Amino acid sequence: MAIDRLSAGYGRHRVLCAITARIPAARVTAIVGPNGSGKSTLLGAVAGVVPAASGAVRRRSAVGPALVVQRSAAADALPISVRETVAMGRWAHRGPWRRLTRDDRAIIDTCMDRLGIGHLAARRLGALSGGERQRALVAQGLAQQADLLLLDEPDTGLDIEAQQRISDALDHTVRKGTTVVHATHDLAAARRADHCVLLAGGCVVAEGAPSEVLAPASLERVWGIARTGEGDGPDGTVL
Ligand SMILES: Nc1ncnc2c1ncn2[C@@H]1O[C@H](COP(=O)(O)OP(=O)(O)OP(=O)(O)O)[C@@H](O)[C@H]1O
């Protein structure tokens, strides 16, 4: 996927300023940057839910991407079960009546199992813990079987098991050919990605291999701090 001079925002408030980036296919790309740097807006613009003011997102596929929003953005009050939440991932495949096929049901079960939430299928989404809910939203994203999966901070505030489940599920879908792009504050997760885009103030500061993009000089430039790795706290310091 190629993002070419993409500008987008909300009304008159321009957030992204001519973003240009190359997102490698069937790989994991991490979008990093300080709070308010435009990570969610970029994901939204790529997904088409935030309209582009100018520029373009070029993809080979005509199929829309799957977007997994931050769990805080998911409506807790909806009387919807975990299974129904994951099933929504199949709606785009099923037209207005949304009658699920046997294949759809098998995909929904597989996605719940992959995230370790099969036992929660009948529970109400709003009654789950934050980590459980996040896993349900990732399962919904996987159930869409899109070739581009966009995730907004899927790892924030999760325990190690939930993080590992999500990470394993994403690795699996990448091996099957899906392109994954996730926004994160977790530098360790960003370093594990294949590609990294660093944003500040709605602009791309650096793009490329995580080891280069997240080098101490960039971190210092963007956050005003130098993190040299060992002896400087855990690699996964959340910024
Ligand atoms: N729905 C909205 N309406 C108006 N402005 C918005 C909206 N969503 C975000 N913004 C503004 O756009 C800018 C970028 O926000 P965005 O959520 O894209 O940043 P972010 O890098 O994802 O931040 P964070 O790390 O805090 O999640 C901020 O100034 C924010 O206030």
Distance 84 CA to ligand 1 centre (A): 29
The ipTM, to two decimals, is 0.98
For ligand 1, atom 16, the nearest C-alpha belongs to 38
Domain limits at 88? Answer: 74-145
Indicate whether 127 and 104 sit together in one domain.
yes
Mean predicted lDDT score pLDDT of the chain: 90
pLDDT band at 221, cuts 50/70/90? confident
Tell me what pLDDT residue 236 has: 47
Contacts of 48 by beta carbon, 8 Å cutoff, 6+ apart:
64
pTM score, whole prediction? 0.92
Asked whether the predicted pLDDT for residue 104 surpasses 50, the reply is: yes
Indicate whether 110 and 50 sit together in one domain.
no
Encode pLDDT of 63-92 as tens digits: 889 999 987 666 667 789 999 999 999 988
Tokens 């975990």, residue located: 82
Tell me what pLDDT residue 62 has: 82
| Mean pLDDT calculated for residue range 124-136 | 91
182-203 burial, b at 16+ Cβ within 10 Å, e below that, comes to bbbbbbebbbbbebbbbbbebe
Distance 7 CA to ligand 1 centre (A): 14
Distance 40 CA to ligand 1 centre (A): 7
Indicate whether 116 and 161 sit together in one domain.
no
Of 1, 146, 6, give the one whose Cα is nearest residue 59: 1
Q: Where does a domain end: 145, 171, 205?
A: 145
Indicate whether 191 and 137 sit together in one domain.
no
Question: How much of the chain, in percent, has pLDDT values that exceed 70?
Answer: 90
Distance 154 CA to ligand 1 centre (A): 17
Please choose from 37, 222, 223 the residue to mutate so as to test ligand 1's pocket, defined by most ligand atoms within 8 A of CB: 37
What Å distances lie between residue 221 and 29, 149, 183, 230, 238, CA to CA?
21, 30, 19, 19, 16
CA distance 32 to 228: 17
Lowest mean pLDDT among 52-66, 108-122, 216-230: 216-230
Of 21, 18, 43, 56, give the one whose Cα is nearest residue 203: 18
Indicate whether 46 and 159 sit together in one domain.
yes
Tell me what pLDDT residue 83 has: 96
Please choose from 6, 7, 13, 153 the residue to mutate so as to test ligand 1's pocket, defined by most ligand atoms within 8 A of CB: 13
Tell me what pLDDT residue 227 has: 53
Q: Where does a domain end: 97, 128, 145?
A: 145
Tell me what pLDDT residue 230 has: 40
β strands within 85-222, DSSP E = 148-152, 179-183, 195-200, 203-208
Q: Where does a domain end: 115, 145, 175?
A: 145
C-beta neighbour count of 205 within 10 angstroms: 16
Pocket of ligand 1 (CB under 6 A): 10, 13, 15, 33, 35-41, 183
Q: Measure the N-to-C terminal CA separation of the chain; round to a whole number of Å.
A: 27
Indicate whether 154 and 229 sit together in one domain.
yes
Asked whether the predicted pLDDT for residue 116 surpasses 90, the reply is: yes
Q: How many CA atoms lie within 13 A of 184 on its CB side?
A: 29
Residue 8: CATH number of its domain: 3.40.50.300
CA distance 207 to 67: 22
Encode pLDDT of 149-200 as tens digits: 999 999 888 999 999 999 999 999 999 999 999 999 999 999 999 999 999 9
Distance 181 CA to ligand 1 centre (A): 18
Indicate whether 98 and 58 sit together in one domain.
no
Indicate whether 204 and 175 sit together in one domain.
yes
For ligand 1, atom 13, the nearest C-alpha belongs to 36
Encode pLDDT of 25-53 as tens digits: 999 999 999 999 999 999 999 999 999 99
Indicate whether 61 and 175 sit together in one domain.
yes
Distance 100 CA to ligand 1 centre (A): 35
Indicate whether 100 and 169 sit together in one domain.
no
Indicate whether 1 and 58 sit together in one domain.
yes
Number of domains in the chain: 2
Indicate whether 209 and 98 sit together in one domain.
no
